[in-house]
Structure 1
Amino acid sequence: MFRGHSERNLDPKGRLMLPPEFREEVLASSPEGKLMLTNFDGCVVGYPMPEWERIEKSFQGINVLDKRIRNLQRFLISGAVEVVLDKQGRILIPPYLRSYAKLDKDCVLAGVATKFELWDKETFEARRRETEETFDADMADLAASGFELRL
């Protein structure tokens, strides 16, 4: 599982150093150090290969007549790129993903269970503030829809 968040810097070539615990998680599922990056929700999302394969399989047998599903599939799958950890534990974020997520030098790497997200630092902080401000109302809405979170 990917947990926690940390501030990171992209180097001038667009490489990002993963923290040791994230590298271990990637290597546990792919000894070659492969993982998949894609665009989603304004950030770059990194998936270990088994998790990515599960996502791709979920698109098998989709209702191709539903334009929303086609658009989601097109967005996620066409935005995906396989990357490999280098010997220093870095991954290269392609220019189109850096552009999509507005990544420059200052970034936040956030662990989100079975994946991690790479955010522009200012965007990440703004999203966290927004979440804090609407937390109680959002939790009440989610509870009304049947979601249960035990903290």
Structure 2
Amino acid sequence: MFRGSFEHAIDDKGRLSIPARYREILKRRRERELILVDPLFDACIVAYPIKAWQQIEQNLLSHGNSDKKFREYARLISAHAVESTVDSQGRILIPPQLREKADLRRDVVIVGVLDKVEIWNRERWASFCAQERDPEDYAGKLAELGIRV
């Protein structure tokens, strides 16, 4: 699982160094390919290890084409999904269209979120973290999942 957050910089060529802790996880899993997507709901880019992405694709396929919302979501998220190989120096290339969509400039925050990694503009991440939240909203949802906090 991916945990923690790290401040990094995107170079002039659009390359981003993956934190060593995350590279080690990928190495143990024998995965060098990440799928980069615009999640549609958040102001970041999401990097899925290939196996996690394949599970998402299977879940979408299992719902078939009968539901318009599933078709639209599958179409939108797949249209801009990009494969990116972790190079020998532990970097991935983030294409310009995805960098632009998430307003990724030089300074970014890489956030581990269980089975995936999010890449945020540093200011947007700080703004997201600073938002007021009602702990009771989270406690109720977590309790529904059997998670006690």
Q: TM-score, normalised by structure 2?
A: 0.90
1:86-108 residue CA offsets vs partner (Å, 9 max, x unmatched): 11110000111101111001100
Backbone CA RMSD of aligned residues: 1.7
Q: TM-score, normalised by structure 1?
A: 0.88
- 1:16 aligns to what SS in structure 2? strand
Amino acid at match of 1:66: D
Identity %: 38
Alignment of 1:53-72 (within 5 A): 53-72=54-73
Correspondence for 2:135: 136
Unmatched runs of 5 consecutive residues or more in structure 1: none
Correspondence for 1:14: 14
Amino acid at match of 1:27: K
Unmatched runs of 5 consecutive residues or more in structure 2: none
Distance 2:142 2:10 in 1: 39
Runs of 4+ in 1 over 3 A off after TM superposition: none
Amino acid at match of 1:89: G
The structural deviation recorded for 1:140 is 4.4
Distance 1:95 1:70 in 2: 26
Distance 1:140 1:35 in 2: 32
Correspondence for 1:38: 37
The structural deviation recorded for 1:64 is 2.2
Change (3 A) 1:64 1:6: same
Correspondence for 1:5: 5
1:86-133 residue CA offsets vs partner (Å, 9 max, x unmatched): 111100001111011110011000000110000011111111111xx2
CA contact 1:29–1:48 (8 Å) conserved in 2: no
| 1:79 lines up with 2:77 in the alignment | no
- 1:59 aligns to what SS in structure 2? helix
Correspondence for 1:147: 145
